[in-house]
Amino acid sequence: MRKIFLGILVLVTIFALCGITVAQKESFEKEKPKDSDIQKIEFIHWKKDFAKSDKAREPKPPSCYQFLTPTGVRWGILPVSYVINPTNPQNLPQGFITTAVFNAAETWDNSTTKELMKNTYAIDNTATYGVYDHKNAIAFGNYRATGVIAVTSIWYSKASGRILEFDMMFDTDFAWGDASGGNSEVMDLQNIATHELGHGVGLGDIYNTSCSEVTMYGYSTEGETTKRTLEAADITGLQKLYGI
C-alpha cells in the first residue's frame, strides 16, 4: 500500500512539474510581441527656431526630462547592439563617424552603472532608417521635411513596456562635421548623436525654453556642442529608468 501511495505521489509530482514547464512556455510565448502589440514613435530634431514647440508635450519645470511614453518604456536586455551605415554624400571618413557615435553612446553609459550600449558596433552599408528589422540602425539620409536635423524611430512592446528597436538618421540637408574647434558652419555629429541616443535609451524631447541647456532639448543649430555632455536633468531621467 505504501508503494502504491509513493507511486501516486511521484506521478502527481511529475505532472505538476510538467504543468509548470508548460505554463512557463506559455508565458514566454506571451512575452514575444505580436504585430498588433508593437508600437512605433518617431522623434524629430528640429533646427532651432524652425518649428514651434509642442506645448502639449512640455513637462512642467523644473523636471526638464521626460520619458518616451508616460509608462517609461525601456530596454529589458542590456547591453544593446547597434550598426552604423557610414555612407554619406559629404564623404566624411568612416572613422570620424564611428568615433562620434561611439563617444555619444558612452556618454550615456557613463551616467549609470548599467552597460546600456555594447562597446563594439558593426558597420553595415545596407542598414536603413525606418525599417523594423531587429537592427538598431544609425545612418544618413534625406528626411521628407525641411528643417529636420535628425530623426529617431523607436519600436516598443506596449504589453511588456520594453523597447524593441531604434533607428536613427542624420539629415543630409545639413553639412555634418566636428564643431568642437569653433566651426559654426557644420552640424556637430557627436552633439546630435548624443541627443538621438537619448531617445534610443528611453528619453523624450524637451521643449521648455527654461530647459534649453539639457541634452534632450529638441532644438539645435550649427556649431552647437553643448549636447555632447549630459546635464543633471538628463542623468536624473536616465537613472530613473535604469538605476544609479
Q: Are residues 48 and 15 in the same domain?
A: no
In this prediction, the residues of the chain whose per-residue pLDDT falls under 70 are 1-33, 51-62
At 120-168, the pLDDT tens digits run 999 999 999 999 999 999 999 999 898 999 999 999 999 999 999 999 9
Predicted local distance difference test score (pLDDT) of residue 161 = 96
Q: Are residues 25 and 99 in the same domain?
A: no
Predicted local distance difference test score (pLDDT) of residue 11 = 36
User: What are the grid coordinates assigned to 65, written together?
Assistant: 526630462
pTM of the model: 0.83
Q: Are residues 8 and 80 in the same domain?
A: no
Q: Are residues 40 and 28 in the same domain?
A: no
CA 179/CA 162 separation, integer angstroms: 35
Q: Are residues 141 and 21 in the same domain?
A: no
Domain CATH for 102:
3.40.390.10
Q: Are residues 118 and 226 in the same domain?
A: yes
Q: Which domain holds residue 27?
A: 1-32
Q: Are residues 20 and 65 in the same domain?
A: no
Q: Are residues 40 and 117 in the same domain?
A: yes
Predicted local distance difference test score (pLDDT) of residue 62 = 61
Predicted local distance difference test score (pLDDT) of residue 67 = 97
Number of independent structural domains in the chain: 2
Q: Which of 189, 193, 185 is nearest to 177 (CA)?
A: 189
Q: Are residues 65 and 3 in the same domain?
A: no
Predicted local distance difference test score (pLDDT) of residue 97 = 98
Q: Are residues 175 and 200 in the same domain?
A: yes
Q: Are residues 48 and 14 in the same domain?
A: no
Predicted local distance difference test score (pLDDT) of residue 57 = 52
Q: Which residue has the cell 512592446?
A: 157
Q: Are residues 169 and 217 in the same domain?
A: yes
CA 87/CA 101 separation, integer angstroms: 14
